[in-house]
Amino acid sequence: MPASTCASACTRFRVQGRGRGAGLRVVTAAEAAAEADLIMVLAPDPVQGEIYEQHIAPAPEGRRRVVLRPRVQHPVRLRQAAGRCGTSAWSRPRGPGHLVRRQYEEGRGVPCLVAVEQDATGTAFELALSYAKGIGGTRAGVIRTTFTEETETDLFGEQAVLAGGVTALVKAGFETLTEAGYQPEIAYFECLHELKLIVDLMYEGGLGKMRWSISETAEWGDYVTGPRIITDATRAEMRKVLAEIQDGTFAREWMAEYHGGLKRYQEYKKQDSELLLETTGSELRKLMSWVDEEA
Q: What is the pTM of this model?
A: 0.83
Active site residues: 74
Residues 67, 40: contact at Cβ < 8 Å? yes
10 Å Cβ neighbour count for 185? 14
Q: What is the pLDDT of residues 140-180, one digit of tens each?
A: 999 999 888 888 898 999 999 999 999 999 999 999 999 99
Residues 89, 115: contact at Cβ < 8 Å? yes
Q: What is the pLDDT of residues 108-135, one digit of tens each?
A: 999 999 988 878 778 888 988 998 999 9
Nearest one of 159, 193, 188, 158 to 173, comparing CA atoms: 188
Residues of the chain with pLDDT under 70: 1-17, 19, 60-87, 292-295
d(CA 143, CA 120): 22
The residues facing 40 across adjacent strands are 67
pLDDT of the residue at 159: 96
